[in-house]
Structure formats: C-alpha cells, structure tokens
Amino acid sequence: MSGAAARAEQKTPDKHFTIEGDLCTGCGLCEERAPDNLELASGDEVARVIRQPETPEEVEACTEAADYCPTGGLKPDDD
Ligand code: SF4
C-alpha cells in the first residue's frame, strides 16, 4: 500500500450530522439505515445522533439516512 493510500485509510471522516427536532417526525427510517450512529429510543418522538460517524462506512450510512429522511430533519452539518 502506498503512503498516500495508508494515510487516506487512517483519516477520520470529518462529517457531522444533526437532527432538527422541529422537523423530525420520529418515523425511525434513519435508525434503520445507520443504527450505530442514529437512534430513536423507545418512547422518544424525535431521533438523535448517538455518535458521529467515525469511518467512511458510517459516513455513507448516515448520508444515506439523511437522503431517506422524509422531512429533512437529519442533515449533514455542512448543508
Ligand atoms: S428519518 Fe428523519 S424524520 Fe425520520 S426519525 Fe430520522 S430524522 Fe426523524
């Protein structure tokens, strides 16, 4: 593996997500897509970010979850 590839693999993804409580309807789709990062706890009406993504796979899962969010309540912070 080249040095550049090794550095790219080790780089921590710098993408954060937030859930706007006003927009979240508690449908739970985001938790299904990214269960390691997003949670709709039983009894809660609004999902929450339990841990920001730390790997490219988690970034992808959270990005997909944001794409599937029907209300736009889950967003990457850079949006
Ligand atoms: S997908 Fe969107 S509306 Fe549904 S629980 Fe997650 S943040 Fe809330």
Whose Cα sits closest to atom 6 in ligand 1?
A: 30
Of all residues in the chain, the percent with pLDDT exceeding 70 is 82
Q: For the chain, how are helix, strand and coil distributed in percent, rounded to 5?
A: 35, 15, 55
Whose Cα sits closest to atom 1 in ligand 1?
A: 69
Q: Is the pLDDT of residue 4 over 80?
A: no
Is the CB of residue 62 below 6 angstroms from any atom belonging to ligand 1?
no
Tens digit of pLDDT for each residue in 53-72? 999 999 999 999 999 999 99
Whose Cα sits closest to atom 2 in ligand 1?
A: 69
Of all residues in the chain, the percent with pLDDT exceeding 90 is 75
Tens digit of pLDDT for each residue in 19-63? 999 999 999 999 999 999 999 988 999 999 999 999 999 999 999
Chosen CATH of 3-76 out of 3.40.225.10, 3.30.70.20, 3.40.50.300, 3.30.470.20: 3.30.70.20
| Domains of the chain by residue range | 3-76
CA of 72 to the centre of ligand 1 (A): 8
